[in-house]
A and B are shown apart, each in its own frame.
Chain A
């Protein structure tokens, strides 16, 4: 059974269509890379999967259960974790409290289990030196780490990562790719939207290219990158490349 199954997903804001009968099946423990130009509907796809936005038509099911129309708080408890492209920290709370609230609510953990879990995740994501800092004062990269950490304390089975590698140094990028690989080895299904393609290709089992609410190409990273449609959309017209 597919971990995530989208069938005929449609969503439009007025004349702008961000999902046009999109269907997709993601097996368990796969790392699916999602590429596409700005405004292609990648983040909106995440918003629909995570319940932040409801689709106009179509169904979403997770592990065989129809989750279409469920609010994000329910999906968070059903094992969907996500990061936002523009980080959304709880600015007035400390880094630790940001994680704690996620562990207590979406993670459903008791007080002491939650503290332990948060401590472990902070170590793993290299934020332990900032635990008692106010999240609103963090620099962008640490905010992104915080987004990832906050998703991880809920023990997600399906993890949606929205552009978390942008702006990283090469060393940090290598470290991030290794970390995501480890999460995947632990059995987490990962959907990763990323413009930093070399990072994505390192870890993605499969890549889809999205444009104007449709899936243009679907396959291995090499096949998708080689596809004529993708090159045209991504890099400009084929003539310009020639």
Chain B
């Protein structure tokens, strides 16, 4: 166990150094680059959350944009109607998404596999239509955060971008840390077991429905918080942008699949690859999307476990190990191996 402790301490130090480095970026970067940083963190958050849902719990949702959109709109309401500070408004976005998820869950969890995926899509379309037809939140035209309220976050633009960047970083840390702790707990074992074999999971005492609903709700809450961040970063949302299947779910799935689904490192690698490609191919217009598509297909064909999965298979290296190696406990030498039985 001392080895474990040593690894934990050194891991914590490494994470702390990395977080401090990332958190101090706004002091050295230009405002435009801080913005890009926030955008990266937002997609990273969505990717980590989708990975938790699809990669670990086996719940393939193509409707997470419902919670992004509802979170963004609820954050707007909390900011503009009730005048809450921005971080409480983001929490309100999270809460609203959680409430919406608990309303949809009884219907969605009657469905399984592909029909579940379609159900989540329907959920997102319903959410979009409800918002787009509500004139109090601007209907189809959308809403903006008034300059007065934007100035309350920070008086100047650079300060505001930094504040939003740090909030996004904090959400990312919450998501990463809670995913890690979840996967290290017995519930992490239950999630993986459920994904692999639902029938046998029940037979070993797991309430698979309860676990699936819980993870769905938790992911929805955090996705709602990311929706709030998106509102703060954009300051203007429309139903089409806030509930965008393309921006909040399709890219997210691409990131997770190329990075490595069902691995905590996967979304991080995938996000890095995605934004590198975006910067490199920015001048090519639609060709950029074609290249993304080809890359996605190539990864699925030649490295179905994603880039990180391929690295892991070759090197057995894991930056964020969540498996339970048997070797970490002392094997008692007095346990005899019944070798004589096999030799009969």
**Which positions in A face B, CB cutoff 8 Å?**
50, 52, 71-73, 76-77, 82, 84, 88-94, 96-98, 100-102, 104-108, 111, 115-116, 118-120, 122-124, 126, 128, 131-132, 136, 150, 154, 171-172, 174-175, 178-179
Q: Assuming the A-B contacts A89-B197, A132-B326, are A126 and B338 also in contact, with contact meaning beta carbons closer than 8 angstroms in the complex?
A: yes
In the complex the two chains form, what is the Cα distance from A71 to B204 in whole Å? Answer: 11
Partner of B203 from A52, A100, A122, A126 at Cβ < 8 Å: A52
What total of chain B residues lie within 8 Å of the partner, measured CB to CB? 35
Contact residues of B between 160 and 213, Cβ < 8 Å to A = 186, 189-190, 192-193, 195-197, 199-208
A102–B201 alpha-carbon span in the complex (Å) = 8
Q: Distance (Å) between the CB of B326 and the closest chain A CB?
A: 4
Give A123 to B335 CA distance when docked, in angstroms.
7
Interface residues of B in 280-339 (CB under 8 A from A): 323-327, 329, 331-332, 335-338
Which residues of chain B are within 8 angstroms of A123 by Cβ–Cβ distance? 335-338
Known: A88-B200, A105-B186, A115-B329. A73 touches B342 (CB 8 A): no
Q: Tell me whether A77 and B205 are in contact (CB under 8 A).
A: yes
B residues sitting closer than 8 Å to A (CB atoms) are 186, 189-190, 192-193, 195-197, 199-208, 262, 323-327, 329, 331-332, 335-338, 341-344
Name the contact of B344 in the complex, choosing from A77, A132, A150, A171 (C-beta under 8 A). Answer: A171
Given contact pairs A77-B205, A126-B338, enumerate 17 new A-B contacts (beta carbons under 8 Å): A73-B203, A73-B208, A90-B197, A90-B200, A92-B196, A92-B262, A101-B192, A106-B205, A108-B205, A128-B331, A128-B337, A132-B325, A150-B200, A171-B344, A172-B342, A175-B341, A179-B341
Given contacts A93-B193, A97-B192, A123-B335, contact A82 B341 (CB under 8 A): no
A78 to chain B, nearest CB (A): 10
Q: Which residues of B contact A120 (CB under 8 A)?
A: 335
Chain A, interface SS category: helix
What residues of chain A lie closer than 8 Å to B189, measured between beta carbons? 93, 97, 100-101, 104
B263 to chain A, nearest CB (A): 11
Task: Give CA–CA (A214, B192) in the complex, Å.
Answer: 39
For A96, list chain B residues within 8 Å (CB): 324-326
- The reply to whether A124 and B326 form a contact with Cβ atoms under 8 Å apart is no
